[in-house]
Amino acid sequence: MKKKIIITGGDGRFAKVLKVKNKKLNIFYPNKKELNILNVNSIRKYINKIKPKYLIHAAALSRPMNIHNKKISKSIDLNIIGTCNIVKVCSELKVKVIYFSTGYVYEGKVGNYKENNPVFPINNYAWSKLGGECAVAMYKDSLILRITMCEKPFVHKKAFYDIKSNFIFHEDVAKIIPKILNKKGILNVGGKIQSIYSFAKKNNKNVKKTSGKKLFPKNPSMNISKLNKIMKW
């Protein structure tokens, strides 16, 4: 019998892609009413109903990025407290947690960051995701995925030519999920290190160059050798 998996943010952008791309996995996609990450009883009720082996925690407040400056309380509630609630219940009910964090927790000055390198978030969004990481790391049956992913094709009209990253499409992350379900600790998840413009241009020929120097550090790219070994790329 296939092991059951719950993904929070069941009606979110990534979950919709996962639903199409991963028919073989036995995944449940609760919406916000079915599983409210700000309500411990709601989380417990849904998990007790499904009885999963794994919970992928992808529900989060992400963009627009400046919302984390304008609405700090909302950012804390959804990305930190919501994650803490998930960990509380999963640790109580013995459910493995796989947490979607971000590569932006690294400082972003030199690039090629390994999982054991120090972290120093580059914006409030990254701080909120690191806050979630703290709770997840306390629970040993867990995996933290530091990801920089986006929709395909690249949705923005402009892309940074002077910022290096490991952007990866939702579709590619969906292919990775079955291979990492039983891993623990921290794992960088991304694609080839390149400028965001180079990445975007391959799938959206109309994208224009722009500078990101005032918005981001120049190189928050991650070392993905650990992922490459798992995927045998």
Query: What is the model's pLDDT at position 14?
Result: 95
Q: What is the pLDDT along the chain (233 residues), one digit of tens a residue?
A: 789 999 999 999 999 999 999 889 999 999 999 999 999 999 999 999 999 999 999 999 988 889 999 999 999 999 999 999 999 999 999 999 999 999 999 999 999 999 999 999 989 999 999 999 999 999 999 999 999 999 998 989 999 999 999 999 999 999 999 999 999 999 999 999 999 999 999 989 999 999 998 888 899 999 999 999 999 97
79 near 37, Cβ under 8 Å?
Answer: no
Burial code of 2-28, b = ≥16 C-beta within 10 A, e = fewer? eebbbbbbbebebbebbbebeeebebb
| Residue 179 CB-half CA count within 13 A | 15
Structural domains of the chain, ranges and CATH numbers in brackets: 4-231 (3.40.50.720)
The whole-number pLDDT of residue 172 equals 96
Which candidate, 129, 132, 136, 142, places its Cα nearest to that of 95? 142
CA distance 113 to 193: 11
Per the CB < 8 A criterion, the answer to whether 61 and 32 are in contact is no
- The DSSP annotation for 6-67 comes to EEESTTSHHHHHHHHH-SSSEEE---TTTS-TT-HHHHHHHHHHH--SEEEE-----SSTTH
